[in-house]
Chain A
Amino acid sequence: MMKGNRQTNSKGQLKHFLSIDGLKRDLLVEILDNAQSFTSLATQGRSVKKVPLLRGKTITNLFFENSTRTRTTFELAAKRLSADVLNLNISTSATSKGESLLDTLHNLEAMYCDMFVVRHASSGAAHFIAKHCAPHISVINAGDGSHSHPTQAMLDMLTIRQHKGDFTPLRVAIVGDILHSRVARSQILALNTLGVSEVRVIGPRTLLPYDARSLGVHVYHDLIAGISDVDVIIMLRLQKERMSGALLPSEAEYFNLYGLTEEKLQHAKDDVIVMHPGPINRGVEMDSAVADGEHSVILEQVSNGIAVRMAIMSMCLGAQQDIDLEVSA
């Protein structure tokens, strides 16, 4: 449990969104419900595809690690809520000149804004920023080191719920480089908090964390055994550095052992859904037949990503208003 860094205010409302760790099931369900109601915005036939919920708010994307995909979805989510968006790619400027993270933060606070969306290479960076930024600012973690990527986990949960409904009977398998994956850590926490029947991790020992069972999962090294009878398979992206880091011999061997093909999918349940946080390495994590096949829900994950981020941003900044009201009363 994260000590000393409260993500929720005294009323249990979301103020920061840093990690699934420590959040109650009811709050996760509330996020999913709100996100679901935002998904309809795209299909309503509006001429103005925005809602004015966060009009006048400024959201700053603080990306210390490059990522066009994630940054774009956060930007879109913020704009659809009518917020103003500031994009700061710090990887190329200040900190490479040696400015400390704290200094960067204080400089940014001088330009009044309401929310930081942070991506950083060091685990714990989002917590650090939330701890040190001005009290009115909300912080959303867009990925810190190998620690946490909670918005990704929530959009994955939403996608699962849309297809499967009740979480309780589900068996979910996560395949690949769990050791370095902030996505996997957040997914495991979310799945367990939402009460699934079983979470499995599947991969070679070099890609699994120390005592993975302590994370609340069953460990498999054999893909077929691991995906037998599962309802959901989440494939993680394999980074090229793993080969040069002596963690894996080659992409070919990885695909042979852990890559998904239609044939291997037969071992899972008939209505299994296949997920991937993207971008997919075709021929490494799965072949094109699976990526484009009937079990794949990968594209839905992408659109759910915007709705989930809209929900989380509104909830955090809504709670902010509440605090201001209390103060002025």
Chain B
Amino acid sequence: MTVTSISIVNGRLIDPANNIDEVTDIHISQGEILAIGEKPSGFEAAQIIDASDKVVCPGLIDLSARLREPGLEYKATIGSETRAAAKAGITTLICPPDTDPVIDSPAVMELIRRKAKQSGYARVLCTAAISKKLEGKELSEMAELAEAGCVGVSNAYKPLGNTLIERRALEYASTFGIKVFLKAEDRHLRNDGCIHEGIIASRLGLPGFPEAAETVAVARDITLAESTGASLHFQRLSTAKSVNKINRARHDGIALSMDVAAHQLHLTEMDTDGFNTACHVDPPLRTLRDREALRQAVAKGDIQAICSDHQPHEPDAKEHPFPDSEPGISALETLLPLTLKLVQEKVMSLPDALHRLTAGPAEIAGLPYGRLNAGSSADICIFDPQAHWILNEDNLLSQGKNTPFINWEFTGQVTHTLFEGRITYSLDNES
């Protein structure tokens, strides 16, 4: 029996989009938010959730989560990962185009949307491929893809063929007002590097690539964005210098936004010591200085969104010598905990932190979610900010167990998640 009328009472409601931070109630009916505060006359909730001492916020929006379906189901599926997302308080996921087949046609987008709807745990949107088959050579049918509902276009983590192709792709996208999501990387400077070119690479004799591999590309992409008028979003920044460049460009009026992966705000190259493949990520973990600069940028709002960069893998992918292992962390279930850690470490306030997971990503992706207005989709996350818990392989719901945060202690745990007015996760009911 699906309950259609719910009241969540006594919770601390934090909705950064609308500047709300107060203890109050919220009432839901037929999948939408009916009212905040007093319940409307004539409304009787079939279920009441007592959120005393808990935080009630919009369901989280994750700008990048790889669900591996279609094509890589041995790593994970839309079903398994959206279920994990629900446990993590995430109600909207944006999936990058590097599935198999690549998301370069409305048919693939439709397949993904349908699978997500079947599971019913979360909303799955996507960034579509900017080039056919993500080969970086020919343009994809961007207009048609935008019409089919993609949030923007992206080359995932594959480099575009050359600067001329990049320029044309940005020009074409900007014709239709389509946002371009780019990972800034110069593939020649990248060479065959698998780790930050720093003291750990020097000591372990691992092929490294310098921060210039990112900053050179950032400079190039900023210039092209300016000359083409494209709206550009920088994905997964890893260096202090990139943030500085982008800030200066925005100051000069160029339309740019940035996001960062949650793990980049906590880990550094030192965590890869001992050939720790769990910390093999792309872009790589860099220096303490970079981490501090990224934290400051997130605190100030220069970086408006923290995403998970979720990349679940089968166990074998990490069971190789470091350079031969696959990069990526299974990260949905640590998105909120790692963000809350920033609050605990006094990097930023709780409302600001939640902004980077709700209103911030919503604005970047142009979505009407991540807010608690009357009439909005009832996507809600309720969490206990005092609950202590330890992450381990048993309580990790994702099919991918590849995370360096196993055995980390966290404070703050999701107790309920609602998606379109339905309870998709409840801590009490977890078997």
Contact = CB atoms under 8 A, between A and B. Distances in A.
Query: Do A and B touch directly, given a CB cutoff of 8 Å in the complex?
Result: yes
Contacts of A2: 274
Contact of A124 (B202, B204, B208, B319): B204
Interface string B206-229: 111010000000000000000000
A211 B205 contact: no
B274 A210 contact: no
B202 A127 contact: no
A148 B274 CA distance: 13
Contacts of A3: 273-274
A257 to B, nearest CB: 23
A122 B321 contact: yes
Interface in A168-213: 182, 185, 209-212
Given A209-B201, A215-B203, A125 B321 contact: yes
Interface in A88-108: 100-102
Interface in B177-207: 197-199, 201-207
Interface stretch (A41-49, A139-147, A228-236, A315-323): A139-147
Question: Lowest 9 CB-CB distances: which A-B pairs, in order?
Answer: A146-B205, A147-B205, A124-B275, A209-B202, A122-B321, A125-B321, A3-B274, A214-B199, A124-B321
B300 interface: no
Give the size range of B's interface with the partner: 20 to 34
B316 interface: yes
Contacts, number: 78
B324 A101 contact: yes
Interface in B297-344: 316, 319-324
11 contacts: A1-B273, A3-B274, A102-B316, A120-B321, A127-B274, A128-B275, A145-B323, A146-B205, A146-B207, A210-B197, A211-B199
Given A100-B319, A122-B320, A147-B205, 19 more contacts: A2-B274, A3-B273, A100-B320, A101-B320, A101-B321, A122-B323, A123-B205, A124-B322, A124-B323, A125-B321, A128-B275, A128-B320, A144-B205, A144-B321, A146-B206, A209-B201, A210-B202, A210-B208, A214-B203
A90 B208 CA distance: 26
A52 interface: no
Contacts of A135: none
Contacts of A125: 321
B199 A123 contact: no
Q: Which of A1, A122, A144, A212 has the most CB of B within 10 A?
A: A122
B321 A128 contact: yes
B203 A123 contact: no
Contact of B316 (A21, A100, A148, A215): A100
Interface string B266-278: 0000000111000
B395 to A, nearest CB: 23
A5 interface: yes
Give the size range of A's interface with the partner: 20 to 34
A148 B203 CA distance: 9
A292 B166 CA distance: 57
Nearest to A101: B320
Interface of A: 1-5, 21, 100-102, 120, 122-125, 127-128, 132, 144-148, 182, 185, 209-212, 214-215
Given A148-B205, A210-B199, A123 B324 contact: no
Nearest to A129: B321
A159 B202 CA distance: 26
A4 B279 CA distance: 15
A260 B262 CA distance: 52
A55 B203 CA distance: 37
Contacts of B319: 100, 102, 132
Interface in B99-131: none
Contacts of A147: 204-206
Contacts of A4: 274
A266 B202 CA distance: 32
B316 A123 contact: no
Contact of B201 (A101, A102, A210): A210
Contacts of B197: 210
A127 B198 contact: no
Contacts of A145: 205-206, 321, 323
Contacts of B202: 209-212, 214-215
A100 B202 CA distance: 27
A206 to B, nearest CB: 13
A4 B322 CA distance: 15
B207 to A, nearest CB: 8
Contacts of B207: 123, 146
Nearest to B195: A123
B53 to A, nearest CB: 39
Given A100-B316, A128-B275, A128-B321, A123 B198 contact: no
A212 B201 CA distance: 11
Contacts of A5: 274
Contacts of A148: 205
B64 to A, nearest CB: 28
Contacts of A122: 320-324
A123 B204 contact: yes
A60 to B, nearest CB: 18
Contacts of A1: 273
A63 to B, nearest CB: 15
A21 B202 CA distance: 13
